[in-house]
Amino acid sequence: MIPFFVVLLMFLPLRGGASEFVNLTPYPKTLKMGQGTLRLPQRFVVGGDALGDSIVGEINKFVADFNRAATGVEAVASPNGTGATLVLRLNADLKKTLGTEGYGLTITRDGITLESATRKGFYYGLVSIKKMLPACIMAGVKDAKVTTYTLPCLTITDSPRFKYRGFMLDVSRHFFSVAEVKRILDVMAAYKMNVFHFHLTDDQGWRWEVKQYPELTRVGSVAANTYITAMYHGAYWTNAQYGPYFYTQDELRDIVAYAADRHIEIVPEIDMPGHFVAAMASYPEYSCNPDAAPAVWTHGGVSSNVLNVANPQAVQFAKNILTELMDIFPSTTIHIGGDECPTGAWEHNAQCQAQYKKLGLNSYRQLQSHFIKAMDEHVRARGRKLAVWNEAITAAGSDLKIMEKTGATVYCWTGAANAAAKATQLKMPHVYTPQFGYYINRQPGQAPWEQSLPGNGSDDLKSVYNHVPFSNHYTLGIQGTFWTEHVGTDDVLEYLAFPRLMAVAEAGWTPQSLRNFDRFVERMRADTTMLNYNGYQYGRNYLRTTNVPEPPADNTPPAVMPEEGKTYIVRCAVEAFKGTALADNGNSAYPQHTADRRANIGWMVNLVHPYDATKRNLTLRLKNATTHRSIGAPASEALDRLGYPLSFGAAAELMLTYNPKHKDFTIAASGKNLFPVPHTSPALSGIISAGNKEGLGNAVRPQGAAWQLIPARIVTFVCQDTEGKALATLKEFTEKGTPLSAAPTFPGYVLKTPLPTEVSSTEDVTLALTYERAAYLIYRSCEDTRGGLLLRDTLSVPVGETLMVKAPKFDYYTPKDVPAEGVAVTPTADRHLKMTYETEAYSGVKAVAEPVGQLEDGHSFVIYDTAVNDPKRAGFRNVNPTTQQVMQGRLAQGEATPYFTWTLEKSGARWKVKNELLDKYLPEMVQSGRILLSNNAGLFNFTLNADKETWKVQGSNRQYWDGAEGFMTGWHTYGHPYRLHRYFVKPYFSVTVSAVSAGEGTILSQQVAIVPAGSAYTLVAPVVEGRELVSVEGPVEQLKSVSGHLTIRYVYGAPSAVEAVPLASAQHHAVYDLSGRRTTPSRPGLYIVNGVKVLVK
Q: What's the rounded Cα separation, in Å, for the pair 591 and 667?
A: 14
Q: Report if residue 521 sits inside a domain.
A: no
* 774 φ, ψ (degrees, to nearest 5): -110, -25
Q: Do 137 and 198 sit in the same domain of this protein?
A: no
Phi-psi region of 661 (alpha: psi -120 to 50; beta: other; left: phi over 0): alpha
Q: Do 141 and 173 sit in the same domain of this protein?
A: no
Judge contact between 100 and 118, C-beta under 8 A.
yes
* 256 φ, ψ (degrees, to nearest 5): -60, -45
Q: What share of the chain is helix, strand, coil (3-state, %, to 5)?
A: 20, 35, 45
Q: Which of 632, 656, 692 is nearest to 237 (CA)?
A: 692
Q: Do 427 and 500 sit in the same domain of this protein?
A: yes
Counting every residue written for the chain, the total comes to: 1097
Residue 821 exposure: Cα atoms within 13 Å on the Cβ side? 2
Domain residue limits at 103: 4-158
Q: Report if residue 952 sits inside a domain.
A: yes
Q: Do 193 and 132 sit in the same domain of this protein?
A: no
Q: Which residues are bridge partners to 920 per DSSP?
A: 915
Q: Do 134 and 185 sit in the same domain of this protein?
A: no
In our burial notation (b when 16+ CB lie closer than 10 A, e otherwise), range 445-476 reads: eebebbebbeeebebbbbbbbebebbeeebbb
Helix (H, G, I), strand (E, B) or coil at 277: helix
Q: Do 62 and 43 sit in the same domain of this protein?
A: yes
Measured CA to CA in angstroms, residue 830 lies from 539, 803, 808, 852 at distances of 64, 13, 21, 22
Neighbours of 501 (CB within 10 A): 23
Judge contact between 802 and 826, C-beta under 8 A.
yes
* Domain end residue (candidates: 158, 180, 201): 158
Q: What's the rounded Cα separation, in Å, for the pair 859 and 786?
A: 4
Q: What's the rounded Cα separation, in Å, for the pair 315 and 320?
A: 9
CATH number of the domain where residue 823 is located: 3.10.20.320
pTM of the model: 0.88
Q: What's the rounded Cα separation, in Å, for the pair 725 and 749?
A: 13
Q: What's the rounded Cα separation, in Å, for the pair 601 and 732?
A: 9
Angle, CA of 272, 278 and 280, to the nearest 5°? 75
Q: Report if residue 547 sits inside a domain.
A: no
Q: Do 74 and 153 sit in the same domain of this protein?
A: yes
Q: Which of 460, 404, 472, 402 is nearest to 432 (CA)?
A: 472
Judge contact between 90 and 117, C-beta under 8 A.
yes
Q: What's the rounded Cα separation, in Å, for the pair 224 and 872?
A: 11
The DSSP symbol for 286 reads G
Judge contact between 471 and 513, C-beta under 8 A.
no
Q: Report if residue 733 sits inside a domain.
A: no
**Cα Rg, the chain, nearest whole Å:** 35
CA 138 to chain centre: 32
Judge contact between 908 and 893, C-beta under 8 A.
no
* Domain end residue (candidates: 129, 158, 187): 158
Q: Do 313 and 208 sit in the same domain of this protein?
A: yes
The DSSP symbol for 103 reads E
Q: Report if residue 373 sits inside a domain.
A: yes
Measured CA to CA in angstroms, residue 188 lies from 164, 498, 860 at distances of 13, 11, 56
Q: Do 1018 and 1067 sit in the same domain of this protein?
A: yes
Query: Average pLDDT of each block of 10 consecutive residues along the chain (1097 residues)?
Result: 38 44 98 97 96 96 98 96 96 96 98 98 99 98 97 98 99 98 99 99 98 93 94 93 96 98 99 98 93 88 96 95 97 98 97 97 98 98 98 98 98 98 98 98 94 94 98 98 97 98 99 98 98 97 78 82 95 95 94 96 95 95 97 92 95 96 96 96 92 85 97 96 96 92 94 90 94 97 97 97 96 92 94 96 97 97 92 92 90 92 98 97 96 97 94 97 94 94 98 90 88 88 80 92 95 64 36 54 56 58
Q: Do 889 and 974 sit in the same domain of this protein?
A: yes
Q: Which run of H or E residues covers position 96? A: helix 94-98
Amino acid identity, position 573: A
Query: In a 10 Å sphere around its CB, with 0-12 CB exposed, 13-18 middle and 19+ buried, how is residue 547 labelled?
Result: exposed
Judge contact between 200 and 170, C-beta under 8 A.
no
CATH number of the domain where residue 246 is located: 3.20.20.80
Helix (H, G, I), strand (E, B) or coil at 763: coil
Measured CA to CA in angstroms, residue 30 lies from 119, 160, 516, 626, 884 at distances of 21, 11, 14, 78, 71
Q: What's the rounded Cα separation, in Å, for the pair 170 and 271?
A: 11
Q: Report if residue 325 sits inside a domain.
A: yes
Helices (H), 381-433: 391-394, 400-406, 416-425
Q: Do 135 and 193 sit in the same domain of this protein?
A: no
CATH number of the domain where residue 74 is located: 3.30.379.10
* Domain end residue (candidates: 822, 838, 854): 838
Orientation angle between helical segments 350-359 and 365-380, nearest 10 degrees: 80
Q: Report if residue 623 sits inside a domain.
A: yes
Q: What's the rounded Cα separation, in Å, for the pair 49 and 79?
A: 7
Q: Which of 607, 626, 627, 628 is nearest to 618 (CA)?
A: 607
CATH number of the domain where residue 669 is located: 2.80.10.50
Judge contact between 982 and 864, C-beta under 8 A.
no
Helix (H, G, I), strand (E, B) or coil at 9: helix
Q: What's the rounded Cα separation, in Å, for the pair 648 and 637?
A: 16
Q: What's the rounded Cα separation, in Å, for the pair 275 and 850?
A: 37
Q: What's the rounded Cα separation, in Å, for the pair 488 and 213?
A: 26
Q: Which residues are bridge partners to 413 per DSSP?
A: none
Q: Report if residue 907 sits inside a domain.
A: yes
Orientation angle between helical segments 490-497 and 178-190, nearest 10 degrees: 20
- pLDDT at residue 817, as a whole number: 85
Domain count, the chain: 6
The DSSP symbol for 462 reads H
Q: Do 198 and 249 sit in the same domain of this protein?
A: yes
- pLDDT at residue 1086, as a whole number: 57
